[in-house]
Structure 1
């Protein structure tokens, strides 16, 4: 084997490139190949990626235990899917730490971490329908089930575009096909951003319509509902806050990934690990934490199924209306 007499560097280290590694990049090491042969232009930090791997592994166990105990199968499926993909994605980044030239590991990390938040978004959509049932279907623009169908279908389309784009970008034999794959991934991520914007708009619209129609009575209805479930209203407030935070965090992360991919895989943003760890890792990790610590099953207890929630909260609505009537008549007392 003849060696190429070139002074090449990667990550600040000199390299010696040879014909064998030219034909098979998976045999490359930092000492034998130039940086343009690597999957990414930096060596992933072992400690940071191991931290996020452990983080999502713990949340995976917690979601499994709570989901099975409380039988919240739809929410459970969404959260488990997201956590598993995060674990696989960060495992792949740890493998990239050992060898940045193995493209299969890069592809595994890219696709898994790109599509995982779609599953967390689905969990948020499912939980929002319970808010509609409690406060009143008449205040929503759509039926609870319709919200779920529309936004989860939208998520599936976004997910498919991101996965297909990632696969095309990696297997492309020329620059044009590679850019097409990137563009498809950007379309998928942009679709996810659009769905989150529309979802947040509909949530704000629902909250406004409830408050405009009921005023302080909506607080009484919430209190009544939590009493029926054996929970204080503080649990409801915590759930609302956690869903808001999780939605905003996933939205910030999705905007970052769109900007990252617009610059291409070789762009500055795509190869800035600090920004990746903050705007991808931390955003999604905190969103998943909020959806675990304030788990809807803990708040709704045995009424996660839509029919059970409708039964309990329908009674709550009737009692709240009576309480509101008594208050308007200037009468005191409890119903």
Structure 2
């Protein structure tokens, strides 16, 4: 176990971890995230979901970088560069995965019928994408400031900025969940208004399984983001931040299961017949083409 006496050379001036990260545990997550990268790429090409798959692949790539950082920390827990890779990769990566989820919701609403939407798509787009962008900026800035600085006051400021970015991401996910609940209520109470054009989709077992997987992924990301928000707010030297078990279970495993749910029930495959939904030139999921009325 590392302590302050292990960091006395000019190589570092801070202790980032008080334990040596598990080589086997982190290597498993690194391998799994790396394996899923070509899977997401292949599905994106096959079902012409380039925007969705690109966001998902970016998140996966950042997770890979994050776990490379943890493996580098195995032998040198006080290594600054390894900690930066770990913190930025595993913090920002899920932000892109959340962003990929935001591209799916307009397609789901279109399947059931635009009359059941609870928000105008233009406001939905601006709100969620704006919050996601703000979250990304704060997470990146806070993560960098809190790791490249040695002054404790600046480190604390960076950690608080990071916590604010994560809190915004958490709020955004809760908004998405609330929006989904409102849509579910509308569908249940106004089922006579459903668009029969897509009845073959929303009555299918695969679509219902997809909706369950979609909600499951959101719930997992909410749990993960709540954990990382508390972790950042408590500080890097807190018992929560220094627990590898909590990190691997509440962060790594939650993100991994969320990605698996999105890949097994790939939206481009489930929703490929909803041609009235918004698409770019490659048929990918995006907000820009949605009718803003």
Q: Which has the larger radius of gyration?
A: 1
Q: Which runs of 5+ in 1 are unaligned?
A: 1-9, 27-35, 310-335
Q: How far apart are residue 265 of structure 1 and its match?
A: 0.4
Q: What pairs up with 1:35-184 in 2 under 5 angstroms?
A: 37-184=14-161
Q: What pairs up with 1:190-209 in 2 under 5 angstroms?
A: 190-209=167-186
Taking a change above 3 Å as real, the CA distance of residues 234 and 95 of structure 1, as seen in their structure-2 partners, is same
Q: TM-score scaled by structure 2?
A: 0.88
Match of 1:296 in 2: 267
Q: TM-score scaled by structure 1?
A: 0.77
Higher relative contact order (CA 8 A, sep 6+): 2
- Aligned-partner SS, 2:18: coil
Distance across 2 between alignment mates of 1:304 and 1:103: 49
**2:200 aligned residue (225, 246, 255):** 225
Match of 2:288 in 1: none
Match of 1:271 in 2: 242
| Residues 182 and 261, structure 1, Cα contact 8 Å, conserved in 2 | yes
| Residues 25 and 37, structure 1, Cα contact 8 Å, conserved in 2 | no
RMSD: 2.4
Distance across 1 between alignment mates of 2:274 and 2:29: 32
Match of 1:22 in 2: 8
* Matched residue count: 280
Distance across 1 between alignment mates of 2:166 and 2:238: 17
| Residues 72 and 304, structure 1, Cα contact 8 Å, conserved in 2 | no
Taking a change above 3 Å as real, the CA distance of residues 305 and 173 of structure 1, as seen in their structure-2 partners, is farther
Q: Which runs of 5+ in 2 are unaligned?
A: 281-293
Distance across 2 between alignment mates of 1:285 and 1:161: 23
| Residues 110 and 276, structure 2, Cα contact 8 Å, conserved in 1 | no
Q: How far apart are residue 108 of structure 1 and its match?
A: 1.1
| Residues 73 and 83, structure 2, Cα contact 8 Å, conserved in 1 | yes
